[in-house]
Amino acid sequence: MDVAIVGASGYTGGELLRLLAFHKEANVVSITSRRFKGEKVYKVHPHLRKFYDLTFTEDVKDADVVFTALPHGTSMKVVPEFLERGMRVIDLSGDYRFEDLSIYEKYYKIKHTGLPNVKIVYGLTEIYREEIKKAQLISNPGCFPTGAILALYPLVKEGIIEENIIIDAKTGITGAGANPSERTHFPFVNEDIIAYNITTHRHKPEIEKELRKVNNKIKVSFVPHLSPINRGILTTIHGFLKEKIDNEELIEIYKKFYKNDIFIRIYKDIPKLSYVRGSNFCDIGGFGIDGKNLIVISAIDNLIKGASGQAIQNMNVMFGIDESEGLMNVPINP
């Protein structure tokens, strides 16, 4: 099975390559980068030396599936062409995450050129597995939404918590991409924890949109924080219980909900980023109850379950391959 990666010089591109290196079915045939065309892959990703001998090109070769790991606003310019060429597309940008384009345009501050005439499936594998199987175009979820929605879905589905939900998330700096900026300048983020885009972050409407499909009264308050670490998102959910429930019952609900999901691990302890680092797992735990207050914690590797790992998980589902193929990396701890 042939795979192309468009925009392969960034972190998610590098991570797709890393994870696909020993995938039994997928074969990367084409990697593109405008900036690095003509360069060997290991000039940009020196860790991949000895694993790939590919050269970056500007044009995309035909493939069974193409991953678009491009900046927001750029994907929409190239995806329609790939679809026309008959390739299935897994888009890692935010361009196809909203059916309501006015929300996209408000939060991304980019004029949208319109959705293609195919069914677009939101690639949260655990929730949309059936739709993903047949999809032509997958819109891979944002990193924060992945950690937050997976931790919240059973609660919302079962009607356990009130509609007003608070999400306090902490992310590593790879979430900001491979391009240097003031916000990623080492002395700016090191020795600091930085709240940003409070009330205005793009991932807030993405989380709300998904949860509202289950309960349209859901209201999310979302505060992301930059943390001086490379990888990982720790999501602290603060909710309010509608009725008394105990810790064990809650865990049972989660275990039942995710009983067929190999990449979800549920437990009573509090998840740590090091438990999932380098892997496609989403660990969910904590389950603190104090009167009406409920606290649930989830941990993911933002570049894997929050991006490239989930994209490959979706590819596996789309092509009838074992869902965990290429993804059973054991987490690296410490």
272 near 85, Cβ under 8 Å? no
User: Among residues 181, 216, 259, 260, which is the contact residue for a copy of itself, using CB under 8 A?
Assistant: 181
Q: Is 282 labeled as catalytic in the residue annotation?
A: no
Other CB atoms within 10 Å distance of the CB of residue 293: 11
Ramachandran angles phi, psi of 257, nearest 5°: -60, -40
Tokens of 195: 């709240």
User: Among residues 59, 84, 130, 190, which is the contact residue for a copy of itself, using CB under 8 A?
Assistant: 190
Q: Which residues from 62-121 bind a copy of itself, rule CB under 8 A?
A: none
CA distance 109 to 241: 36
| Nearer of residues 155 and 173 to a copy of itself, judged by Cβ | 173
| Nearer of residues 138 and 311 to a copy of itself, judged by Cβ | 311
Other CB atoms within 10 Å distance of the CB of residue 51: 15
Residue 53 engages a copy of itself in binding (rule: CB under 8 A): no
| Nearer of residues 189 and 307 to a copy of itself, judged by Cβ | 189
Residue 193 engages a copy of itself in binding (rule: CB under 8 A): yes
What's the gap between Cα 263 and its chain centre? 13
CB of 52 to a copy of itself, least distance (A): 10
| Nearer of residues 101 and 289 to a copy of itself, judged by Cβ | 289
| Nearer of residues 116 and 278 to a copy of itself, judged by Cβ | 278
Residue 214 engages a copy of itself in binding (rule: CB under 8 A): no
Residue 236 engages a copy of itself in binding (rule: CB under 8 A): yes
CA distance 285 to 287: 6
User: Among residues 103, 118, 223, 251, which is the contact residue for a copy of itself, using CB under 8 A?
Assistant: 223
User: Among residues 230, 251, 255, 325, which is the contact residue for a copy of itself, using CB under 8 A?
Assistant: 230
User: Among residues 97, 277, 312, 315, which is the contact residue for a copy of itself, using CB under 8 A?
Assistant: 277
CB of 264 to a copy of itself, least distance (A): 10
Stretch that binds a copy of itself, among 1-9, 71-79, 117-125, 230-238 (CB under 8 A): 230-238
| Nearer of residues 18 and 97 to a copy of itself, judged by Cβ | 18
Which amino acid is residue 258, in one-letter code? Y
Q: Which residues from 119-158 bind a copy of itself, rule CB under 8 A?
A: none
Stretch that binds a copy of itself, among 116-124, 150-158, 288-296, 308-316 (CB under 8 A): 288-296
Other CB atoms within 10 Å distance of the CB of residue 163: 16
CB of 183 to a copy of itself, least distance (A): 9
CB of 275 to a copy of itself, least distance (A): 5
User: Among residues 29, 83, 118, 194, which is the contact residue for a copy of itself, using CB under 8 A?
Assistant: 194
Instruction: Please write down the long-range contacts of 226-229, taking CB distance under 8 Å and 24 or more positions apart.
Output: 226/171, 226/173, 226/176, 226/183, 226/189, 226/192, 226/193, 226/194, 226/196, 227/170, 227/171, 227/172, 227/173, 227/189, 227/193, 228/173, 228/189, 228/190, 228/191, 228/192, 228/193, 229/172, 229/173, 229/273
211 near 218, Cβ under 8 Å? yes
Residue 14 engages a copy of itself in binding (rule: CB under 8 A): yes
Helix (H, G, I), strand (E, B) or coil at 196: coil
CA distance 241 to 259: 23
Pairing of strands 293-300, 282-290: antiparallel
State the catalytic residues: 143
